[in-house]
Amino acid sequence: MNFSDLLDKWYHPKREEQEQLRDRIKELQELSRLALEIDNQQIYRNLQIESNELFMKYLTYMFFDGLRFIVPHLFLLAVITTKISFVSLPVSLPGLGSEIPIVLVYPVVAIIFYILRKKFKNRKVQLSNA
C-alpha cells in the first residue's frame, strides 16, 4: 500500500459502502420502473421510500468525504495567512490593486495544482498502457 492509497483511504473511508449504496439505489430504480409498468403503486411507493433513504445516506457519506478534503486546505490556508497576508503584484489590477489577499490566491493555485496533477496522472496512465 503506497502513500496515494493511504490518502485515498483517508479521504474516502466509506468508498465501498458508497459504491454498494449506489448499486442498490440503481437496483431500486429499476424495480420501481418495473412496478410502474405493472401499475402497482404500493410497491412503487415502498421502493421510492427505501431509495430515498439510501440516497440520503449516500449524500451524507459524500458530505463527510468533502469535509475531509476541505479541512486540510483550511488548515494550510490558516497557517499560510499567519506568515503571508498579501501577494504583491508588479501591476495594479482593477478593483484589487497591486496587493491580492492570500485568501484569494490560494484557491486559484490549489485548483490549478489539482488540474495539473489530474492531467499528469492521465498522461502517466496513457503511457503505461501504451
pLDDT digits (tens, 9 = 90+) for 55-107: 999 999 889 888 888 888 888 888 888 888 888 878 887 877 788 888 888 88
CB 58 within 8 A of CB 21: yes
Domain boundaries, the chain: 1-83, 85-130
Q: Which residue has the cell 421510500?
A: 49
pLDDT of residue 1: 64
| Separate counts of helices (H) and strands (E) for the chain | 4, 2
pLDDT at residue 130 above 70?
A: no
More confident residue, 17 or 90: 17
- 88, 81, 71: which is closest to 102 by C-alpha? 81
One DSSP character per residue, 37-99 reads HTT-HHHHHHHHHHHHHHHHHHHHHHHHHHHHHHHHHHHHHHHHHHH--EEEEEEEETTTEEE
Q: How confident is the model at residue 48 (pLDDT cuts 50, 70, 90)?
A: very high
Q: How confident is the model at residue 25 (pLDDT cuts 50, 70, 90)?
A: very high
pLDDT of residue 66: 83
pLDDT digits (tens, 9 = 90+) for 114-127: 899 888 887 776 76
pTM over 0.85: no
Q: Which residue has the cell 483550511?
A: 74
